[in-house]
Structures are given as structure tokens and as C-alpha cells.
Amino acid sequence: MTTMQHEFTADRQVERKRAWSNWATGMLFLLPSLLLFGVFLFYPMVRTVYLSLFLTDSQGVPIVFVGWENFLNLFQSTSFQISAKATALFVLYTVPAGIVLATALAILANQKLRGIGLFRTMFSATMGMSVAASSVIWMFLFNPSIGLFNRILAALNISGVQWLLDPQYALLSVSIATIWMNTGFAFLILLGGLQNIDQSLYESARIAGVSESCKLRKITLPMLSPTLFFVTTVSLINAFQTFGQIDLLTKGGPMESTNVIVYSIYKDAFINYNVGSASAQAVLLFVTVLVVTVLQFKIGERKVHYQ
């Protein structure tokens, strides 16, 4: 063997040793996360799909394989149809209005004024509010006899509304409370997006004598579109996962009018002990969120302006 060959094998050995050490370190550092994702996310997801194909006992132990029956039963049940409709309406009520509100507040708070920091703090305050605390406050505001809303109506000589007890208004009332709860987070991110816009664009627009509304349409909104896109995705996914405010404000009622999907899963699994049906609904929730995310990215790729 020549010296050169010697060096070559030695090099290869060093290389192999390094690759192995890299792999070992990488895996060691990733292992805790991978393990927890495996046990508390991937396994239960697969298990949910599995359970959705079975009839289970009250403990959630699968007994008989029933195939699509849980799903077929769901599609035929009026209760599930009401729940699906409530979820869709809830998303429709909360997401667009919430984003418009947060964008408007972010544009307002992006002005360069003295004391603007105070307003930014005010607008982002709901981010520090838990769903439970917020719900209790709104429960009081909606109270038919002593709540603020009916007092205002009374002052205007309009008869009071049973906000959370009337099937006609309950979902709308919960949606209003939810919009308020979610504003802080969306506001903070959108404000960050606004602050990242290159100021020289506005400078040029000012010199060219462009109107304020034109600046908003031609500069602000297009430049903000990646952030808006992110906020929309997150808001949509959050809306599908709503639980706390329903549990505290309406318990899914009245007449199931606010029985959104996650609340329905919770009730079926932990109150009615119908784990098969709950799992089938969980699978549908998963598929919905997946479709929304994929669609968002497909549309987002085409429509969003990236710098």
C-alpha cells in the first residue's frame, strides 16, 4: 500500500467518524422533541383514526370494527349537521371581522405620535387575557338584567335581548366576545408587519402627491400581505379549535346553536362516553384544518406579494 492510499483510508475513517458523531449528536438533541411528538401527537392522531372505525365501550376501549359507520351516522345525524353549521358560521363571523378590526387598529397605532406606546399596549392587552377570564367578563356584559349591553339598549328605549340564551343571538354573541379576545394577538403581529415596510415607499408617494387612500391600497396592503396571510391562516385554524368560551358562556346551547366541533367532540367523548363518534369528528376536524392549511398555501403562493 502506498502512503497516498494510507492517507486516503485514514481520511475516510475520519470522515466516517465525523458523520457518525454528527448523527449521534443530532439525534441526541432531537430525541426529546421527537419522543414527545411521537407519544403526544403522532400516536394519538393515528389512534384517533383507528378509534373512529370502531364501536367502543364507555372507557374508550374498541370493541367491534364498524368501518365507516361512525362517519355515516354523523352525516345522518341532525345534531352533527347543526354542529357543522355552527362551526362554519362561527368561523365566518369571527375571522374576517377580526382581521379587519386588527388591521385597522394596527394602522392607527402605526402613526408616529407622542404617547403612541400607550395605545399599542391598550390594543394588545387582550393577548394577556385568558379565555376563561375574558369569558367571565363577557358573561357579565351579556347578563340580561344587569349587563352593560341591555342597559345601553334600555337607555335607548329598546327592549333587552337574551344574548346568550336566545338561539338566534347566542352564536353571534359568542363570536363578538371571541373577536375581542383574539384582537390582541393579530394586532401585535400586524403592527410588526407594518413596521417592516420600507419607509422610503411612503416618502416617494408623498413627493408624488398620492392620496392617503391610494397609499393604503397601493403600498400598505400589498406590502402587508405576507403578514395578513399568516394572520389569516392562524385565525382560521384557531377558530376551528374554539372551546373555552363555549364551555363557559353557553355550554353549546341553547338548542345546540353554539355546539361547535371541538365542544361537540368534548361532549361526546367525556360526557356521553361515545368515543367512536368523538373520534370520527376529530378526524373530520383534522381533515378540515389540513385542507384549509394546504389551500391557504396554494392560494398564498400565487397571490401574496413577498419582498
Partner 1 sequence: MTLTVSGLVMVFPILYAFLISFMQGGEVLQGSLWPETFSLANYVSAFERVPLLTYLWNSLLVSVLIMAGQLILCSLAAFAFVFTEFKGREWIFYLFISTMMIPWEATMVPNFQTVQSLGWLNSYAGLTIPFFAMAFGTFLLRQQFKTIPKELYEASQIAGISKLRFFTGVVLPVAKTTITTLAIYSFLTAWNMYLWPLLVTNNEANRTVQIGLKQMQTQEIASDWGVVMAGVVMVILPTLILLFAGQKRLQEGLTQGALK
Footprint (CB under 8 A) of partner 1, residues 68-107: 104-105
Residue 209 or 212 having the CB closest to partner 1: 212
Is it true that the peptide bond before 96 is cis, omega within 30 degrees of 0? no
Of 74-82, 159-167, 214-222, 289-297, the segment contacting partner 1 by CB under 8 A is 289-297
Reported as half-sphere exposure (CB side, CA atoms, 13 A), residue 169 has a value of: 11
> What distances in angstroms separate CA 17 from CA 11, 12, 28, 198, 281, one per listed residue?
10, 8, 16, 48, 50
108 binds partner 1 per the rule CB under 8 A: yes
Write down the least CB distance from residue 166 to partner 1, Å. Answer: 20
Which position among 1, 2, 4, 32 is part of the footprint of partner 1 (CB under 8 A)? Answer: 32
Nearer to partner 1, 170 or 278 (CB): 278
Binding mask 186-215 for partner 1 (x = CB under 8 A): --xx-xxx-xx-------------------
Cβ-based nearer residue to partner 1, 41 or 72: 41
**Taking CB under 8 A as the rule, does residue 23 contact partner 1?**
yes
Does 225 bind partner 1 (CB under 8 A)? Our answer is no
Report d(CA 43, CA 49) in Å as an integer: 10
CB of 261 to partner 1, least distance (A): 8
120 binds partner 1 (CB under 8 A): yes
Burial 89-111 (b: 16+ CB within 10 A, else e): bbbebbbeebbebbbebbbebbe
Evaluated on CA atoms 125, 246, 266, 237, the torsion sign reads negative
Between residue 162 and residue 181, which ones bind partner 1 under the rule CB under 8 A? 180
Q: Which of 146, 156, 208, 271 binds partner 1 (CB under 8 A)?
A: 146
Which of residues 66, 88, 127, 172 is near partner 1 by CB under 8 A?
A: 127
> Does 300 sit near partner 1 (CB under 8 A)?
no
Strands, E assignment, the chain: 54-56, 62-65
Task: Check: CB of residue 201 under 8 Å from CB of residue 215.
Answer: no
Q: Give 127's contacts (C-beta < 8 A, 6+ positions apart).
A: 184, 185, 187, 188
Q: How many residues bind partner 1 (CB under 8 A)?
A: 93
37 binds partner 1 (CB under 8 A): yes
Q: How far is the CB of 37 from partner 1 (least distance, A)?
A: 5
Distance CA 258, CA 171 (A): 5
- Residue of the chain from 293, 295, 299, 301 that contacts partner 1 (CB under 8 A): 293
Return the residue of 39, 72, 214, 295 that touches partner 1, per CB under 8 A: 39
For residue 262, give the H/E element and its range: helix 261-270
User: Quick one: cell of 131?
Assistant: 379565555
User: Residues 6 or more apart from 160 whose CB is under 8 A from it?
Assistant: 144, 145, 150, 153, 154
Q: Which CB sits closer to partner 1, 61 or 168?
A: 61
Nearer to partner 1, 93 or 240 (CB): 240
Residue 147 CB contacts under 8 Å (≥ 6 apart), including other chains: 140, 141, 163
Q: How far apart are the C-alpha atoms of 104 and 106, rounded to whole Å?
A: 5
Site for partner 1 in 228-287 (CB under 8 A): 230-231, 237, 240-241, 243-244, 247-248, 262, 265-266, 269-270, 275, 278-279, 282-283, 285-286
